[in-house]
Each structure stands twice: as structure tokens, then as C-alpha cells.
């Protein structure tokens, strides 16, 4: 008998029928057992160490991250600490390793130097690799995938998704995560059908089950019968045909019937995303989530490391805009190498621009990298989570210092680089017209704006029904921000997920939005809406939608 699951919200559309590959969370806690021979424990450690050394040495050839790991594993300190715990204290190898790693990481963590402090995370990474060897488990959960599969997992991190082989992985379903969570965004960027936040998926699926998923509608069938298989094969065909039709729009500009053109740009997190996005004839990058560069790292990326990435981005976009958002960390996003203090309300806490303004060296390294990249294309800077004019003024002062230092060093950059801000807080909506005097462009971040306007945590499944960007308060905010921006003659874009909602396209167009930025895979869908309407018609439509003062009546109106 097949089993069905239905999810309300889609994460990344598409149809897939394939075998399930279940990723079990690996338990790396050390086992407690009494040892029978010290020699055996020592030799288990020496074996694990030799294999891990070999692996790391190979990885280190192409990566600075692993060069750091190499130094740690080659250092005699770790080796001697483990051996002495076995020989002198009669501890088993797993306990000995776990304690030694904790002690060495603590020493690094206590150091004053930021760089050395960050090495604590590397020590722990090396420890995890060794523990995997001792327990006989793989540290790459995707290593054994050699056929087409749908991944089933508790959760996936950005570094997990970097390990995924797209030749075989055809979709994924996770127990945790929301529509605007990083795992959803990554799925859309990769163009993989995915559903996240699926309650009970881990307990319902076992390895090798067949999964039929219509991620566009939120339907999952586990072990479908012949009729259901037939139905999903048909859906798959239809979806492919639809995608083909939409693909034909790719070379058209997004212009309404009466001639208003809007920009359709891509949201990206890394160079791979950009390489995929530029194939779709996009108008540029409306949001480069630079925090992905920091999250996929073992240390704060240096100016040089970032420069290489941003320069590549500028070159790939070949004169089209590349909007780089400065580090937007905190909230639900952490860094493996930086210890954030515990916060009662992280979304209302130390995040985004607040961190940049405090960790000034980190901020300057990023700004200089962006400035230097601006010599190679049309690069723009965007500040996240702004709530006050003072923040803009201070950030721009630091930017000016960076420019001055580059000038003094005779390093080229775009002297007229545009600087914009995200509108994603109630404060920035209310004071939008004033803010517009200080920046060159706005980009509305509806993911956070919706959460802060409605006071609904964007990742909380319990209240996910309340999280709705069609709420009149959010629509009114968008209207106000676009009007404020236009009054001060600056362009207003949107890079929150709402920009990719086909139901919202006509409203946003009618409200005067200049740029829509979204996962590249969604662009044609929105373009279709723009091509099929006129600006005049869209303005009327937007006015009518905004006459509705409850979410229900807005949703009813849209259905008509």
C-alpha cells in the first residue's frame, strides 16, 4: 500500500519519481567501554590517523581550508594527547580522542588573536573525521550515491548541499526547514524539486522506498501503486512541457504590452549559482547572499579570497549588475568558526549590519574586496537589516575609509559604485523616504519584512499559516516603499521570495516595482505574467487588491 503525505507550502517546484536515499544523522558521541588491551586501542587510533591524514593531504592540494586541517593532523600534540590518555589513564580510544580534541580546541578558543581562535573549529572538524574512522562511518553522507535518488534527511546545511552530486540527486525532502530557509533557497537555485519542513518524513520512509513527489503541489507518495505511478509520470511529462514553453521566453525582455520594462534578476549564493543563472539570460544578480561565502568556510574569508569570488561574479555577469549584500549573519545563520553568544531572540538580536559595524576589520575586508571587484564589472553594494540612518552613515564612513586606502595603494575600483539598502524592517518602511536620500537603490526583503511586520517567525512551522506576504500590511508596506523610492528618484527592487510568486507579479508590477530578483529557475514564470499584461491593467489590479483589508479577502480576490 502506498502512503501519502501532503505539505501546504512548496519549496522548489518540479516532479520526481525515484528511489529514496535516507541520510541518517550520524552520532559522533564517543562510546563508553572498558578496554581489554591498550595496544589495541593505540593501534585503532594509529590506523584511523593514517587514513585521515591521507584523505586530508589529498583534499589539501586544492583547498586552503584543508591545508589548515593538514597542519592540525600532522601536529604531534594531538597524537601524543590521545596516546597518553590511552596508556596513562586507560581510556578507550573514542573517549581519549574526544577529550583530546575538546582540550586542544579550548586552547585555541582562549587565544586573543581572532585567527587563532577560529582554528578551534578546524580542530573539531579533524576530530569528527577521526571519530568517523573509529566508528566505521563515512563523513560524506552522500558518498555512496551511484544511481538516481531522492534524498530524505532531517535537515541539510549549505555545506551538505555542496557535496551533492547533481548527476544522481534528483530531489530532496527534509523534516526541518521552511520555504524561506536556506535549504529551500539552495534547492531553487539548483532547480531541484524539493519539499522541506515535512513532518514525519524520516519515520515514514526507509532506504530504497520509491518516492513520487509533486513538489509544485506539495504531494508525496511513498511506494506508489501502478495507477499512482502512471499519474506521476503524466505529471512529469506535463511539467517538462510547461518548462519547455517557459524556456522559449528566455530570450525576451520582460516588457508589458504597453511597453513598461522591468528587470528580472537572479538571487545567488555562490559562483556555481551564478554560472547556472547567467545561462538563463538574466538582467543581472539582484542579490548575492555573501554570507554563503562565509558559511562555506572555516575562517572569515580574507579580502583576497573574497575578491577572487566577487571578481569572478562580475566577469560572469559581463557588465550586468551584481548586487553584493554585505554579510547577513546571525538570526538563523551561524558560522562554524565563530562563537555567537546565546540570545533569547536571535532574529531580534545581533545580526547583519549590526555585526559588520562592530567587527570592523571583517567589514572592511569585505568592502575592499567588493570595491576591488567593481573594477571588473557593474558591482553594487547592499546593506542588510537597516533600521536607522546612523547605520547607513556609519557604514558609508567605513566604505569611504576603504576607498581612501585603495586609492593610496593605487588599486582601481569604481568611484561611482552604487550603494543600496535592503528594506526588511518596519523601521525602514516607515522612514523609507528619508532613507531614500542616503542610498542609490532599495531592495525589499519580503522574507524578513513579512516576519517583522506580522511578528511571525519565518521558520516556525506552528504558525506558518500566519506567515503570508499577501497580508494587507505587507502589501501596504511594499506600496509605501516603492512610492518613497520613486519620489526620491531611486530604483526599487525586491529580492525576497515574494518576487518569485507568480500570483504577486501583477500586483508588484502595478505598484511600480522596477526589479524582481529571485532564483533563476523561477524567472520565466514571472516573465510570463509580465508579458501577458499591461502596466495600466496591472495598476488597476494592484489598487483593487489593496482595497482588501484582510488576508482572506486578498486571497479570495486572487482566486477570482
Q: How far apart are CA 75 and CA 69, in angstroms?
A: 10
**Catalytic residue list contains 299:** no
Sign of the torsion formed by the C-alpha atoms of 30, 33, 34 and 37: negative
Please state, in angstroms and rounded to a whole number, the distance separating the CA atoms of residues 359 and 382: 17
Residue from the set 171, 445, 510, 512 that interacts with Mg ion by CB under 5 A: 445
The b/e string for 465-487 (b: 16+ C-beta within 10 A; e otherwise) is: eebebbbbbbbebbbbbbebbee
Using the rule CB under 5 A, is 122 a contact of Mg ion? Answer: no
In sequence order, the 6+-apart residues with CB closer than 8 A to the CB of 125 are 69, 298, 336
Among 448, 497, 514, 522, binds Mg ion (CB under 5 A): 448
Cβ pair 225, 48 in contact under 8 A? no
Q: Give all strands of the β-sheet with 194-195 in edge-to-edge order.
A: 3-6, 219-222, 210-214, 15-23, 149-153, 169-174, 194-195
- Cβ 496 to ligand PEP shortest distance, Å: 3
Q: Which residue matches cell numbers 486572487?
A: 558
Catalytic choice (182, 265, 292, 317): 182
Nearest CB to ligand PEP, comparing residues 418 and 448: 448
Among 485, 496, 510, 512, binds ligand PEP (CB under 6 A): 496
Of these, 41, 160, 303, 448, which contacts ligand PEP (CB under 6 A)?
448
- How far apart CA 407 and CA 402 sit, in angstroms, is 9
Q: Which is nearer to ligand PEP, 180 or 428 (CB)?
A: 180
Q: Which of 265, 292, 402, 495 is catalytic?
A: 495
Q: Does 283 sit near Mg ion (CB under 5 A)?
A: no
Does residue 69 have an active-site annotation? no
By rule CB under 6 A, what string of x and - marks binding of each residue 370-409 to ligand PEP? Answer: ----------------------------------------
Buried b (16+ CB within 10 A) or exposed e, 225-236: eeebbeebeebb
Q: Does 447 bind ligand PEP (CB under 6 A)?
A: yes
Kindly write down the DSSP assignment for every residue of 154-194, as one continuous string: S---HHHHHH--TTTEEEEEESS--TTSHHHHHHHHHT--E
Segment 280-319, which members bind ligand PEP (CB under 6 A)? Answer: 287, 289
Options 58-66, 386-394, 444-452, 463-471: segment touching ligand PEP (CB under 6 A): 444-452
Query: What residues between 178 and 207 interact with ligand PEP by CB under 6 A?
Result: 180
Query: Is 119 one of the binding residues for ligand PEP (CB under 6 A)?
Result: no
Site string for ligand PEP, 318-347 (x = CB under 6 A): ----------x-------------------
Do 418 and 440 contact (CB within 8 A), yes or no? Answer: yes
Instruction: Give the three cell numbers for residue 119.
Output: 582554528
Residues forming contacts to ligand PEP in the complex (CB under 6 A) are 180, 287, 289, 328, 424, 445-448, 495-496
Q: Which residues are catalytic?
A: 182, 495
Residues forming contacts to Mg ion in the complex (CB under 5 A) are 424, 445, 448
Amino acid at each position: 500500500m502506498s502512503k501519502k503525505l501532503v505539505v501546504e507550502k512548496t519549496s522548489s517546484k518540479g516532479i520526481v519519481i525515484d528511489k529514496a536515499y535516507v541520510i541518517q544523522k550520524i552520532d559522533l558521541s564517543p562510546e563508553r567501554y572498558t578496554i581489554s588491551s591498550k595496544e589495541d586501542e593505540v593501534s585503532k587510533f594509529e590506523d584511523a590517523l593514517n587514513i585521515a591524514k591521507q584523505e586530508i593531504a589529498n583534499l589539501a592540494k586544492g583547498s586552503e581550508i584543508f591545508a589548515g586541517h593538514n597542519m592540525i593532523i600532522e601536529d604531534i600534540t594531538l597524537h601524543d594527547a590521545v596516546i597518553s590518555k590511552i596508556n596513562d589513564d586507560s581510556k578507550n580510544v573514542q573517549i581519549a580522542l574526544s577529550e583530546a580534541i575538546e582540550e586542544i580546541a579550548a586552547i585555541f578558543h582562549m587565544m586573543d588573536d581572532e585567527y587563532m581562535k577560529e582554528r578551534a573549529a578546524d580542530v573539531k572538524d579533524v576530530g569528527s573525521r577521526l571519530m568517523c574512522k573509529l566508528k566505521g562511518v563515512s563523513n560524506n553522507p552522500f558518498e555512496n550515491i551511484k544511481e538516481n535518488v531522492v534524498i530524505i534527511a532531517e535537515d541539510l546545511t549549505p555545506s551538505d548541499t555542496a557535496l551533492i552530486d547533481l548527476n544522481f540527486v534528483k530531489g530532496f525532502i527534509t523534516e526541518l526547514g521552511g520555504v524561506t530557509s536556506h535549504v529551500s533557497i539552495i534547492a531553487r537555485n539548483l532547480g531541484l524539486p524539493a519539499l522541506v519542513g515535512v513532518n514525519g518524513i524520516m519515520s515514514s520512509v526507509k532506504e530504497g522506498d520509491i518516492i513520487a513527489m509533486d513538489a509544485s503541489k506539495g504531494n508525496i507518495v511513498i511506494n506508489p501503486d501502478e495507477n499512482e505511478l502512471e499519474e506521476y509520470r503524466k505529471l512529469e511529462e506535463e511539467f517538462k512541457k510547461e518548462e519547455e514553453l517557459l524556456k522559449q521566453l528566455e530570450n525576451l525582455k520582460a516588457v508589458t504590452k504597453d511597453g513598461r520594462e522591468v528587470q528580472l534578476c537572479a538571487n545567488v549564493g555562490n559562483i556555481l549559482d551564478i554560472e547556472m543563472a547567467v545561462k538563463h539570460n538574466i538582467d543581472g544578480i539582484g542579490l548575492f547572499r555573501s554570507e554563503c561565502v562565509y558559511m562555506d568556510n572555516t575562517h572569515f574569508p580574507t579580502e583576497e579570497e573574497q575578491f577572487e569570488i566577487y571578481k569572478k561574479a562580475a566577469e560572469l555577469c559581463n557588465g550586468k549588475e551584481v548586487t553584493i549584500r554585505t554579510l547577513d549573519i546571525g538570526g538563523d545563520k551561524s558560522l562554524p568558526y565563530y562563537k555567537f553568544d546565546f540570545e533569547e531572540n536571535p532574529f531580534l538580536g545581533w545580526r547583519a549590519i549590526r555585526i559588520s559595524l562592530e567587527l570592523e576589520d571583517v567589514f572592511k575586508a569585505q568592502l575592499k574586496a567588493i570595491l576591488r571587484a567593481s573594477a571588473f564589472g557593474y558591482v553594487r553594494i547592499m546593506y542588510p537589516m537597516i533600521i536607522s540612518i546612523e547605520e547607513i552613515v556609519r557604514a558609508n564612513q567605513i566604505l569611504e575609509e576603504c576607498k581612501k586606502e585603495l586609492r593610496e595603494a593605487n588599486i582601481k575600483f569604481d568611484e561611482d559604485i552604487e550603494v543600496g539598502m535592503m528594506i526588511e524592517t518596519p523601521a525602514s518602511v516607515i522612514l523609507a523616504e528619508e532613507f531614500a536620500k542616503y542610498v542609490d537603490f532599495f531592495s525589499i526583503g519580503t522574507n524578513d519584512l513579512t516576519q517583522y511586520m506580522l511578528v511571525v517567525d519565518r521558520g516556525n512551522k506552528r504558525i506558518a499559516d500566519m506567515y503570508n506576504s499577501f497580508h494587507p500590511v505587507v502589501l501596504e508596506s511594499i506600496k509605501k516603499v516603492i512610492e518613497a523610492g520613486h519620489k526620491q528618484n531611486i530604483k526599487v527592487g525586491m529580492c525576497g521570495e515574494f518576487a518569485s510568486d507568480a500570483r504577486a507579479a501583477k500586483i508588484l508590477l502595478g505598484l511600480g516595482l522596477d526589479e524582481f530578483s529571485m532564483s533563476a529557475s523561477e524567472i520565466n514564470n514571472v516573465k510570463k505574467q509580465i508579458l501577458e499584461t499591461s502596466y495600466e491593467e496591472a495598476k488597476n489590479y494592484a489598487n483593487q487588491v489593496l482595497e482588501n483589508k484582510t488576508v482572506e479577502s486578498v486571497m479570495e480576490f486572487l482566486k477570482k
